[in-house]
Amino acid sequence: MAHTLVVANWKMNPADAASAAQIAQGIVRRAKGRARIVICPPFIYMSVVAKAIGRSKHVFLGAQDAFAGKGAAHTGEVDVGMVKHAGAKYVIVGHSERRAAGETDETVREKLFAVLKAGVTAILCIGEKERDLHGGYFSDIKRELEHAVRGLPKKFLPKLVVAYEPVWAIGASSAMQSADVHETAIFIRRVANDIFGKTAAEKIRILYGGSVTKQNARDIVEQGNVDGLLVGRESLKANEFAELVNELGK
């Protein structure tokens, strides 16, 4: 794998454009380029963040979502063509907070295809709501992945990133143990191998997300054996986030 990928998911933050510009500038200035960073701000701040990123070689712009429908009559929606014009190279698809707000496996699939067909890298989020004692969570993860990529041509796989985010570890007080991240990443890889074949599935990058901090980032990447991280709360503090990224690949 060429580079470790760290995705900053700002969710519905910060409160204004000036703060968005400030955080993005801080990240660009302090992150040393050991990993590739993708900042995903709310749509309304994409242009100020694009400006703060400028021509950085290791920080890129992403969007938190993109609408998959066609035509112009969709009040309130933003499609992948629009975020691409704004400079986005990545789009998060199917985050658990969007699934909780009503996105189905089928909506997620439509969005995934729309993003990939536009030539943009998709960060597909999957993950169980809870870990039951009988391993039922494996079937939830499998269902979400299989449904999202059903019928997807292999040529799109280099632009597919799967972010494994156990829902119970998002916004929590601690992340999943790196040994469990490792086990789940192997499972996701195996499901992908069964669908696409080993050689093609190797091109998919797998990230972990859920309460990542600068203290646990390196352990999760190295012991969890993932290709990067998806970071929520900690990505809004420029200093902390840059330190988190700088911990990787030391």
Q: Which of 178, 189, 66 is nearest to 123 (CA)?
A: 66
233 scored as a contact of ligand PGA (CB under 6 A): yes
166 scored as a contact of ligand PGA (CB under 6 A): no
Q: Which of 119, 193, 118 is nearest to 149 (CA)?
A: 193
Are the beta carbons of 63 and 46 closer than 8 angstroms? yes
Q: Counting every residue, how long is the chain?
A: 250
Write each residue from 115 to 154 as x if it is in contact with ligand PGA (CB under 6 A), else as -, in one continuous string: ----------------------------------------
Which of 201/242 has CB closer to ligand PGA?
Answer: 242
Residues contacting ligand PGA: total by CB under 6 A:
12
Q: Where are the beta strands (DSSP E) in 52-204?
A: 59-63, 88-93, 121-126, 160-164
Which of 31/170 has CB closer to ligand PGA?
Answer: 170
Backbone torsions φ then ψ of 203, nearest 5 degrees: -75, -15
The dihedral sign for the CA sequence 228, 230, 234, 237: positive
Which of 15/133 has CB closer to ligand PGA?
Answer: 15
23 scored as a contact of ligand PGA (CB under 6 A): no
170 scored as a contact of ligand PGA (CB under 6 A): yes
Q: Which helix (H) or strand (E) holds 155?
A: none
41 scored as a contact of ligand PGA (CB under 6 A): no
209 scored as a contact of ligand PGA (CB under 6 A): yes
Interface contacts to ligand PGA, rule CB under 6 A? 9, 165, 170-171, 209-212, 230-233
